[in-house]
Structure 1
Amino acid sequence: MIDKKTPPNHPSKFSLKLLNPKYILGWIGVALLYLVSLMPFRMQMAIGRAIGRFLYILGPKRKEIARVNLEMCFPEKNQHEIEEILKENLINTGVGIIEMGIAWWSSDRKIDDLTIHYKNKEILESNEGILVLAKHTTHVEIDVRLMSRGLKMGGMYRPQKNKIINHIMINARNKYIEGAFHHKQASQTLDYVRNGKKMIYAADQDFGSKYSIFVPFFKEMASTITIPHGISQERFKVVFIKINRKKNGYEVEAKEIEPKEDQLEFLTNMNKAYTDSIIESPEQFLWVHRRFKTRPDGGDVYPIWKRREKRRQNERKSS
Structure 2
Amino acid sequence: MAKKSTTELTLKQLLAPKYWLTWLAMSVTYIVSFLPWSTKQSLGKVLGLLLHKTAARRRHICDVNLQICYPEMSQAERKKLTRQHFISAGKGFLETFDAWYQPASKLMPRVDCDSQAVVDKALEAGKGCILISGHFAPLDLCGTLIASHLDLHPIYKRQNNPVFNWVMEHQRKKVYSKTIERSDMREVLKSLKLNKPVWYAVDQDYGRKHSVFAPFFGRQCATISHIGRIAKMTKAPVLLLDYGRTETGYTYRFTEVENYPTDDDVTNATVINQLMEQAISTKKEQYLWSHRRFKTQPVKGDPSPYNK
1:313 maps to what in 2?
Answer: none
Instruction: Provide the TM-score with structure 2 as the length reference.
Output: 0.89
Compute the displacement of 1:183 (Å): 2.4
Aligned 1:304-315 pairs, distance under 5 A: 304=307
Q: Is the 8 A contact 1:121 1:254 kept in 2?
A: yes
After TM superposition, the structure 1 stretch with the greater mean CA deviation from structure 2, 69-78 or 142-151, is 142-151
Q: For the Cα contact (< 8 Å) 2:158–2:165, is it kept in 1? A: yes
Q: Which residue is 1:217 aligned to?
A: 216
How far is 1:262 from its partner? 4.3
Cα deviation, residue 229, structure 1: 1.2
CA displacement, residues 144-196 of structure 1 (integer Å, 9 cap, x when unaligned): 21232211111223222333221110011111112122222134323432442
Alignment match, 1:143: 142
Cα contact 1:158–1:183 (8 A) shared by 2: yes
Match of 2:15 among 12, 19, 24: 19
User: 1:200 and 1:224 mapped to 2: Cα distance?
Assistant: 16
Q: Give the gaps of 5 or more residues in structure 2.
A: none
Rounded to whole Å, the distance in 2 between the matches of 1:251 and 1:47 is 21
Structure 2: how far apart are the matches of 1:13 and 1:157? 18
Superposed CA offset, 1:102-139 (max 9, x none) = 10011131131231x12312222335311111211122
After TM superposition, where is structure 1 displaced by more than 4 Å over at least 4 residues in a row? none
Deviation at 1:274, TM superposition (A): 0.8
Q: Which residue of 1 aligns with 2:182?
A: 183
Distance 1:162 1:207, change over 3 A: closer
- d(CA) in 2 for partners of 1:61, 1:164: 24
- Distance change (3 Å), C-alpha of 1:187 and 1:66: farther
Does the residue aligned with 1:47 lie in a helix, a strand or coil? helix
What is the rounded CA distance, in whole Å, between the counterparts of 2:170 and 2:154 in structure 1? Answer: 13
Contact conserved, 1:232 with 1:238, CA < 8 A, in 2?
Answer: yes
Alpha-carbon distance in 2 for matches of 1:189, 1:12: 21
Task: Give the deviation of 1:12 after TM superposition.
Answer: 4.7
State the SS of the aligned residue for 1:179. Answer: coil
2:118 aligned with 1:123:
yes
Distance in 2, matches of 1:11 and 1:128, equals 30
Instruction: Calculate the TM-score normalised by the size of structure 1.
Output: 0.86
> 1:14-61 CA deviation, whole Å, 9 max, x = no partner?
421333333332222222211221111111100011111110011211
Shift of 1:303: 4.3
- Structure 2 matches for 1:159-174, cutoff 5 A? 159-174=158-173
Range with bigger deviation, 215-224 or 22-31: 22-31
